[in-house]
C-alpha cells in the first residue's frame, strides 16, 4: 500500500470516528464558563448573584418582550425610547431593593456596563453589576427561553 492510500484510510477512519461520536453524544456543549478571577470591575458571574436583585434588561425592547427574564425591567440606550421612563422605573425598584444586575445580549455586548454606570451615577449607594455573558448566560442556565427560533 502506498502512502497516499494509507493517508486516505487514516483520514477516513478518523472522520468516521468523529462522526460516530457526534451522532452518539451530540454536538459539543458551548456554555459560557465564568471565572470570577477574570471579571472586570463592576461585573458579576451568574453563579455569584444572590437574590433578591432587580434584573435590568439592556437589550432592545423587542428582545426584552420576546424573551426577557421574567420580572426584569427594561433600560436600554435606544434613542427612540423614553430614557426618563426607564430611569423612573429603575429608581422605584432600586429604592425597594438597592441591588441590581444588568444584562444585555452576550459577553461581547457593552451596553450593560453603560447602563450600570448610568445607575451608579444616579446613586452611588446602589450595588449595580453587569452580568458576564449577558442573556446568553441566563439562557445556558435555563433561566430564560429563546423564542426567536435561533439556536
> pLDDT tens across 51-109, in order?
999 999 999 999 999 999 999 999 999 999 999 999 999 999 999 999 999 999 987 88
Beta bridge partners of 32: none
CB 70 within 8 A of CB 87: no
9: its cell numbers: 484510510
State the pLDDT at residue 32.
66
Cell of 59: 437589550
Q: What percent of the chain has pLDDT over 90?
A: 69
Q: How many residues does the chain have?
A: 151
For 90, counting Cβ atoms within 10 Å of its Cβ (0-12 exposed, 13-18 middle, 19+ buried), the class is: buried
Query: For the whole model, what pTM was predicted?
Result: 0.78
Amino acid at each position: 500500500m502506498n502512502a497516499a492510500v494509507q493517508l486516505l484510510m487514516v483520514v477516513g477512519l478518523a472522520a468516521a470516528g468523529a462522526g460516530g461520536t457526534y451522532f452518539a453524544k451530540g454536538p459539543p456543549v458551548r456554555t459560557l464558563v465564568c471565572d470570577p478571577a477574570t471579571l472586570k470591575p463592576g461585573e458579576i458571574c451568574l453563579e455569584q448573584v444572590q437574590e433578591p436583585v432587580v434584573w435590568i434588561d439592556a437589550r432592545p425592547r423587542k428582545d426584552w418582550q420576546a424573551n426577557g427574564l421574567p420580572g426584569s425591567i427594561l433600560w436600554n440606550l435606544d434613542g427612540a425610547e423614553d430614557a426618563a421612563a426607564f430611569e423612573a422605573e429603575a429608581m422605584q425598584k432600586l429604592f425597594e431593593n438597592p441591588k441590581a444586575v444588568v444584562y444585555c445580549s452576550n459577553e461581547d455586548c457593552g451596553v450593560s456596563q453603560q447602563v450600570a454606570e448610568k445607575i451608579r451615577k444616579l446613586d452611588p449607594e446602589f450595588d449595580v453589576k453587569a452580568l458576564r455573558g449577558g442573556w446568553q448566560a441566563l439562557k445556558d442556565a435555563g433561566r430564560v427561553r429563546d423564542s426567536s427560533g435561533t439556536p
